[in-house]
Chain A
């Protein structure tokens, strides 16, 4: 016993100390370690620094690229800054003119690659950051600004750099290249004239390459030497030659003519270039289709075209067709009854394939497909007078063709008849014998066609039956005649039905619940007191209060108060004394009270 006390005491001491010194285990959750919004801002600052070629740009890019992140974001982050750093490195080298002649070709290719790589990499990174940014509106704002800066780099800066590199690389003084125009329309022929500086210089090759992608699209072979200059004609590159060069469906593309010549005496190689643009037009194709059809209808499409084009027609995901558009208007029909369509909005898309001279085009027209229901006429008068307990319903098949329809008639949810509706029918429905009734009528018309949906007619019909009404009237009159003057007998009859005592309870209950509730009243004077209160519209005493409490609560005015006080004393005496009080006195007081009230 003593030992156990000892142990308990020691343990208690330890527990006390542990509880006092226990560390805080619960910590509130704070913000995430990665602030994507901050990374968005840092990216924008980095782009600013790159565009403005700020002195600390390399330090900035290097520092931010080293941010340690987890998961996919880390990959996107590293890629974005790697690409940006690479671009900045070329930018600085081009601007400082430190690119050697041997590196020119590689620099041109790298810059051309960066033009497509940079927006993709940055866009992916920005999308990732936007998805984890704490504030959507914040990310939208930064995203727009970043997009503008990337656009500036891709559309302005990189082409400018390429031009600088090319200019450095080219030896324009040895070769003078002229074109018949700076801007051509697709399909036109360009005239080329290349003048060489010396008689010992001979043209090695002439080619057309995309700008700034630098992909070779045309080798010009048919070159003649006339009057000290090389002459050639070539058809400006068509869109098909841009396949694989990531044609962006733009209306205007830039190309350069690059000519390489060699001096046979000195062995030097000269490179000259000339830029030009080609404009590709959009085909004029228009589509005309109804804005809405019913399921199963024939969909008619009118497609206008200004030329011959290959195209594909797609009706949502349920129908597609390869077509050749001819000049003028072509009609196409789609039988929707063979398509498993549900109701809703369906897009019709026409994809016009690009030609050598025209760009690709996608046209969209939305068609609302609504449900098709049978055309049925329902003849029914409401209210309906029926003398034979049947309701007559007329159903008329309104479909133009001889479509077979099936009608099901429900009354109050129960099926009461099924009919085949070829032309028209008159259905007779039993509605009961009651003189008047309201029936819930529902008619469901179904079609044998799978494209049609059931037609439902619902109505609440008031049905009168004059025959049973008249019969009921006669029966009532007869009953009145038979039982007239026999009320007493009727009461005896009722008493005979109800057990003894119950009648009394029923009677009293109807007298006044309030009156009998607090006390067992056997006082006519009390009843008169209550009746007087009631007549004067004074609230009667509640079940839980005495007459005196009620009197005190009620704000009677003088002299009514004195009258009721006397009346109250009379009631109490009548209720509780062994001697009954004068009913006449009570009547006098009641009349006096009513008289005062009238005054």
Chain B
């Protein structure tokens, strides 16, 4: 075997092992559809037959009036992205916005909603799912409970309260993790709905509502906010993580066979070179 063939086989084997590892090694990226862990969206994808969106321009081609777009981010959206979302809402789409308060507020400010998500976290010692960091709220609109994780509360005017925390919850204004004498206790809005154009903008202050950990408890509520439309899950942010992006791409093709075909092709190539020598 020539030296350049040895190098070629080595590289091919490396790529083979690398690709296999990407698929086999579990994703830990929060809110990623490839993540089968507690903070992933793999169950959301399968439960609601959702499609993955890695490029927002896809929204131009969908039937907005029959689509709900789930947008969860930790950093601010760009102006061009917000422009696309504006068109989507104007065409009658349902947009669910969740993530960090900064992100939700940036969207709310863009649409000039007069609504904001406060930084203070809501805790609940009484109505919770295991501990006070998982308050259970209730949606009168959906007639369903909502299990959350460290939700923030929504303030402002002109919105419909989609879900609120229990009477026993309190807002930790100073961020020390405990209630103080001057901190309010009672119901806090944790999900809100506002009409924008012909569509609905839904703010959910706890993105964990949609994760694998809590989706079983929230199936009724999530189904209600999706409203029987096709669900598109935003995965644009995973583009910054090449390996996660490859995982998401592998899933977005419908089945893992796409990746398997690639792996098999490389393997065949390696075997060909090895046996040709023999």
Contacts and interface: CB of A to CB of B under 8 A. Distances in A.
A207 interface: no
Contacts of A42: 125-126, 168
A420 interface: no
A64 B21 CA distance: 49
A374 B131 CA distance: 70
A291 interface: no
Interface in A443-459: none
B17 A134 contact: no
Interface stretch (A6-14, A101-109, A386-394, A582-590): A6-14
Residue picked from B14, B28, B125, B180, most chain A C-beta under 10 Å: B125
A35 B123 contact: yes
A10 B243 contact: no
Interface string A43-55: 0010000000000
A502 interface: no
Given A31-B178, A142-B181, 7 more contacts: A9-B10, A13-B18, A18-B21, A23-B28, A34-B125, A41-B179, A135-B180
A30 interface: yes
Nearest to A137: B181
Contact of A5 (B1, B6, B168, B185): B6
Nearest to A63: B126
A511 interface: no
B6 A35 contact: no
A67 B133 CA distance: 14
Contacts of B125: 34-35, 38-39, 42, 67
B12 to A, nearest CB: 10
B176 A67 contact: no
Contacts of A66: 126
Nearest to A13: B14
Given A5-B10, A12-B14, A138 B25 contact: no
A138 B170 CA distance: 16
B185 A41 contact: yes
Contacts of A30: 133, 177
Which of A5, A20, A142 gathers the greatest number of chain B CB atoms within 10 Å? A20
A6 B273 CA distance: 14
B10 A10 contact: yes
A21 interface: yes
Contact of A38 (B11, B14, B27, B170): B170
B13 interface: yes
Query: 6 closest Cβ contacts across the A-B interface?
Result: A31-B177, A13-B14, A23-B28, A134-B178, A9-B10, A33-B131
A84 to B, nearest CB: 15
Interface string A107-140: 0000000000000000000000000001100100
A35 B132 contact: yes
A6 B9 contact: yes
A81 to B, nearest CB: 11
A17 interface: yes
What is the predominant secondary structure among interface residues of chain A facing chain B?
A: helix
A17 B243 contact: yes
Contacts of A486: none
B265 interface: no
B15 interface: yes
Contact of B17 (A14, A34, A37, A63): A14
Contacts of B17: 10, 13-14
A6 B13 contact: yes
A63 B127 CA distance: 8
Contact of A18 (B1, B25, B130, B179): B25
Contact of B180 (A14, A21, A138): A138
B126 A13 contact: no
A491 interface: no
A16 interface: yes
A38 B177 contact: no
A267 B270 CA distance: 110
Contacts of A5: 6, 10
Interface string A139-175: 0011000000000000000000000000000000000
Contact of A10 (B1, B14, B127, B185): B14
A67 B131 CA distance: 9
Contacts of A142: 181
B18 A6 contact: no
Interface residues of B, number: 34
Interface in B125-139: 125-127, 130-133
A2 B179 CA distance: 66
B48 to A, nearest CB: 26
Interface string B179-216: 11100010000000000000000000000000000000
Nearest to B15: A13
Contacts of B123: 35, 38
Contacts of A63: 126-127, 168
B239 to A, nearest CB: 15
Interface in B143-195: 168, 170, 176-181, 185
A229 to B, nearest CB: 59
A38 B132 contact: yes
B268 interface: no
A64 B168 CA distance: 9
B168 A37 contact: no
28 contacts: A2-B3, A5-B6, A5-B10, A6-B13, A9-B11, A9-B14, A13-B17, A14-B17, A17-B18, A17-B243, A18-B25, A21-B243, A23-B28, A30-B177, A33-B133, A35-B179, A37-B179, A38-B125, A38-B170, A38-B179, A41-B170, A41-B179, A41-B185, A42-B126, A68-B130, A134-B176, A134-B177, A141-B181
B28 A24 contact: yes
B269 interface: no
Given A35-B178, A38-B125, A67-B125, A17 B21 contact: yes
Contacts of A21: 21-22, 25, 27-28, 243
Nearest to A5: B10
Interface string B1-39: 101001001110111011001100101100000000000
Contacts of B127: 63
Contact of B176 (A16, A17, A31, A39): A31
B208 to A, nearest CB: 15
B18 A16 contact: yes
Interface string A515-539: 0000000000000000000000000
B145 to A, nearest CB: 14
B22 A17 contact: yes
A41 B176 CA distance: 17
Contacts of B132: 33-35, 38
A39 to B, nearest CB: 6
Contacts of B130: 68
Contact of A64 (B15, B22, B27, B126): B126
B129 to A, nearest CB: 11
A135 B18 contact: no
A66 B130 CA distance: 12
B250 to A, nearest CB: 14
A23 B21 CA distance: 14
Contacts of B11: 9
A345 to B, nearest CB: 39
Given A20-B243, A38-B123, A41-B185, A6 B178 contact: no
